[in-house]
Amino acid sequence: MATHPAIVTTTASAPLKLQNVPTVVPKSGEVRVRVDWTMTAAFDLHQADGGLLVSHGVLGSCFAGIIVEASPDVDTAKLRIGDKVFGYGFQDQQTRAYQLYVTISAHMCGKIPSNVTPQEAVTVPDSLITAVHTLSYSLRLPLQWPVPASPSPSTKTPILVWGGSSSSGHAILQVLKHWGYTNIIATSSPQHHELLKVLGATKVFDYRDEKIVENIKNAGRSLSGNTQGPAVPLIVDSIGSVSGSLAPISAIASTGTRVAVLLPVLIRAPSVKGPPEYAMDVKLMAKWQDGVEVEGVRTHFYMENEALKERLQSEMLPELVRTGAIRPIRQRLITGSTMLERAESALQAWREGVSGERLVWRVSGEGS
């Protein structure tokens, strides 16, 4: 059996390992992609440092590369050998990104549009999928595709994106803007405020400001003009930190507010200071007022929506990037002489801190 190198995690906080794994021949509807680029995200740290949801060892989710093999029944009008593609794989060992080849359903790949490089493209898939799933499933916003010419009146409802400079926050702001939302409040460090306005935020606040709760409530009221009901009816927490986001958000939310929190809840985030600690029940992690609807988000379930399963990665992702509706996130290139070294260095860079950026690195030595 043919094999190829992959980066695996064995036990929480242990060094990563380079291991040969089977190179899987595509079954019906699948393609095999040579992975040229990947990126390191928080979920990789949750797995490598926290042992969270590790069912098999290979890490990584976003990939950009080239199709080298395809099942005969894959529609060649859509994808063919030699196409440059990007996508988000998470289901099992053969679809994870820290390996030379992923074998994955064709509907989980989109063609990389010519206005971005593979290195830029790899920063987008998980964030966009998280944004669309969170807003459409957890907040129940009607994100029609293709985007209707005239937005619905509900697009004026104030919505808070806590953590606008996170990778998910970037995509959530841009998706809201693209679908016509006009009253968007976002938080980040001050150095990202101008970018967040370009991405779609109407008002931006420093989350470290001691008056943050009051400032956001006032902003919500002034944007809607309503003195009754919740100041901010819709909230996305794209950080999920008990002290850093859930505490202030639970003070902002009131009866009638719908809150979506990206899981896991971070009791202690992965960092150089020590091992992380997580919780999964958002309702228990803050003092919520009666009548606040709170839900934890897991992007891995986006494929329960058949339309998104078929179209989100294959069609919406490339089209939104091609038109510039979704921009690549700023990249920090992680180098190293081996794949293992690059994977370890990227994890360490994340532990030391990321701010409005993606940690991207080469997997294969080929492609551009």
Report the distance separating Cα 102 and Cα 199, nearest Å.
32
How many other β-carbons are positioned within 10 Å of the β-carbon of residue 141?
A: 21
Where do the H-state alpha helices sit in 18-123? Answer: 42-48, 118-121
Min. distance of Cβ 247 from ligand NAP in angstroms? 9
- Under the binding rule (CB under 6 A), the answer on residue 188 touching ligand NAP is yes
- Under the binding rule (CB under 6 A), the answer on residue 167 touching ligand NAP is yes
- Under the binding rule (CB under 6 A), the answer on residue 138 touching ligand NAP is no
Write out the two tokens for 363: 């997997």
- Under the binding rule (CB under 6 A), the answer on residue 189 touching ligand NAP is yes
- Under the binding rule (CB under 6 A), the answer on residue 168 touching ligand NAP is yes
In contact, 159 and 183? CB cutoff 8 Å: yes
Write out the two tokens for 364: 């294969």
By C-alpha distance, which of 124, 125, 69, 111 is closest to 330? Answer: 124
Of the two residues 206 and 315, which places its CB atom closer to ligand NAP in the complex? Answer: 206
How many binding residues for ligand NAP (CB under 6 A)?
31
Write out the two tokens for 159: 């919505």
The only residue of 35, 42, 159, 173 in contact with ligand NAP, by rule CB under 6 A: 42
Q: Interacting stretch for ligand NAP, rule CB under 6 A, among 10-18, 222-230, 232-240, 308-316?
A: 232-240
Write out the two tokens for 274: 């020590």
Sites for ligand NAP among residues 1-40 (CB under 6 A): none
Write out the two tokens for 229: 């009901």
What count of Cα atoms within 13 Å lies in the side-chain half-sphere of residue 112?
29
For 52, residues 6+ apart whose C-beta sits below 8 A from its C-beta are 43, 46, 264, 278
- Under the binding rule (CB under 6 A), the answer on residue 354 touching ligand NAP is yes
Q: Interacting stretch for ligand NAP, rule CB under 6 A, among 87-95, 233-241, 286-294, 333-341?
A: 233-241
Min. distance of Cβ 365 from ligand NAP in angstroms? 27
Contacts with ligand NAP by CB under 6 A lie at: 41-43, 46, 130, 162-163, 165-168, 187-189, 192, 207, 238-241, 244-245, 262-263, 266, 297-299, 354-356
